[in-house]
A = this chain, B = another copy of it.
Amino acid sequence: MRHLTLALDIMGGDNGPHIILSAAFKALNEFPQLHLIFCGDEGVISSWLKQHTSISLQRYSVVHCNQQVLMADNPASALRHKKDSSMACAIRHVQDGQADACVSAGNTGALLAMACSQLKTLAGVNRPALVSSLPTAKGRKVYLLDLGATVQCDAQTLLQNAVMGSVLAQEIAGIERPRVAILNVGEEQIKGPAAIKQANALLAANKQINYIGFVEGDDIFNDIADVIVTDGFSGNIALKSCEGLVKLLIEQIKRDAQRNLLSKIMAKLARPLLRRLYLRVNPDQYNGASLIGLRGIVVKSHGNASDEAFLYAIREAIQEANRQVPTKIKDKIENLLMERS
Contact = CB atoms under 8 A, between A and B. Distances in A.
B218 A151 contact: no
A188 B252 CA distance: 29
A151 B256 contact: no
A277 interface: yes
Contacts of A253: 273, 277
A244 B217 contact: yes
A148 B185 contact: yes
A74 B273 CA distance: 45
Contacts of A236: 185, 216-217
A263 B256 contact: no
Number of copies: 2
The majority secondary structure among interface residues of chain A is helix
A1 interface: no
Q: Max chain B CB contacts within 10 Å: which of A193, A219, A222, A238?
A: A238
25 contacts: A135-B248, A136-B248, A137-B248, A151-B191, A216-B236, A217-B238, A217-B242, A218-B240, A218-B244, A220-B241, A221-B244, A221-B248, A233-B234, A234-B234, A234-B237, A237-B237, A245-B246, A245-B281, A249-B277, A249-B280, A252-B276, A263-B272, A267-B270, A269-B269, A270-B270
A224 to B, nearest CB: 10
Nearest to A108: B186
Interface of A: 74, 109, 135-137, 148, 151-152, 183, 185-186, 188, 190-193, 216-222, 230, 232-234, 236-249, 251-253, 256-257, 263, 266-267, 269-270, 272-274, 276-277, 280-281
4 A-B pairs with least C-beta separation: A217-B240, A270-B270, A218-B244, A217-B241
B245 A245 contact: yes
Contact of A267 (B137, B190, B273): B273
A188 B77 CA distance: 14
A273 B256 contact: yes
Contacts of A191: 151
Nearest to A238: B241
Q: Max chain B CB contacts within 10 Å: which of A244, A267, A274?
A: A244
Nearest to A283: B218
Contact of A216 (B240, B247, B252, B274): B240
A151 B192 contact: yes
Given A192-B151, A237-B237, A273-B256, A222 B244 contact: yes
Contacts of A251: 137
A243 B218 contact: yes
A242 B240 contact: no
A219 B244 CA distance: 7
A221 B246 CA distance: 9
Given A256-B277, A267-B270, A221 B237 contact: no
